Amino acid sequence: MGHQSWQRSTGKLLQVYPEFDETPWVKTPETYTWPNPDGLYCRSYCPLHPRVHEVVLPLVDEICDAFEADAFHAGMDEVFYLGEARCPRCGGKDKSELFAGEVKRIHAHLQTRQRELWIWGDRLLDGRTTGLGEWEASFNDTHRAVDLIPQDVVICDWHYERPDPTPVYFAMKGFRVLTCPWRNPEAAVRQLHDQLRFREQSATAMKPRFRGMLQTVWSDPGPFLRDLRGHKESADYKQGELTAARCFLRLFDEIQRLKPGSDAKP
């Protein structure tokens, strides 16, 4: 729903169907800066546009078919434009209900094909009360959706700088949850140990909801794979830099170390 543009470039969906734009009155600036007067981070599609699902849901199916996938990650992160007062369809509506409505719509569609829905967790966390801020949690009143969406949605709980113990919150709400690091190996190792500790310390009903770790990569595959394979001669390689590949390697070294029978087990 969100991430339909990036800085000055609008994504394909809203290029072809500009009528789906939640904020068509927001003009793309000549030079993009953040913050900006429109609060433009990324554009969103309007979840109440009567034709948006005719386009989006067949796309979901096509992608799942091509990849023979039994689960679909719908994103749903960092949706800043939602339920805008000037939108003739969403204006004045409850943003948590709008957000949950879109999750339920995609979930129900996937269910007809026996596919699971995965989403990022940030819009389901209250950014103000938790102090998590407006990126990895919500300042735009979507967080009450956590109690409105189906419990079999898988939550990808991303925290890139600090190992916030939010998986417990999602697990207590009934969701399966994966912790998602990016390029901070110390945080990733802490998050791994947290997942294991949460499993160990929780009631039987909660244990299987802590599903482990999901490494995120926010570059093209090329630089990631070159870095992963240690191509130090590559132009992408910078000594000492925090990267997704190095975080991945550190995390999986730790997983190996913790495996039963490993000599290195502490």
Residue numbers at the binding site for Zn ion (CB under 5 A): 22, 46, 87, 89-90
What does the alpha-carbon distance between residue 159 and residue 180 come to, in Å, rounded to a whole number?
6
- Contact at 8 Å (CB) between 248 and 255? no
Give the nearest distance from C-beta 48 to Zn ion in angstroms: 5
Q: Which CB, 22 or 77, lies closer to Zn ion?
A: 22
Q: Which CB, 140 or 202, lies closer to Zn ion?
A: 140
DSSP H or E run through 135: none
Give the nearest distance from C-beta 62 to Zn ion in angstroms: 25
243: left (phi over 0), alpha (psi -120 to 50) or beta: beta
List CB contacts of 82: < 8 A, sequence separation 6 or more: 1, 2, 22, 44, 47, 90, 95, 98, 99, 140, 142
Q: Which CB, 87 or 213, lies closer to Zn ion?
A: 87
- Contact at 8 Å (CB) between 196 and 211? no
Q: In a 3-state reduction of DSSP, which class is residue 47?
A: coil
Neighbour count for residue 49 (Cβ, 10 Å): 20
Q: Which CB, 48 or 258, lies closer to Zn ion?
A: 48
Q: Which CB, 102 or 227, lies closer to Zn ion?
A: 102
Residue with tokens 């953040």: 34
Q: Which CB, 45 or 160, lies closer to Zn ion?
A: 45
| AA identity, residue 223 | P
- Contact at 8 Å (CB) between 229 and 246? no
Give the nearest distance from C-beta 143 to Zn ion in angstroms: 19
- Contact at 8 Å (CB) between 83 and 90? yes
| AA identity, residue 206 | M
Give the nearest distance from C-beta 89 to Zn ion in angstroms: 4
- Contact at 8 Å (CB) between 5 and 13? no
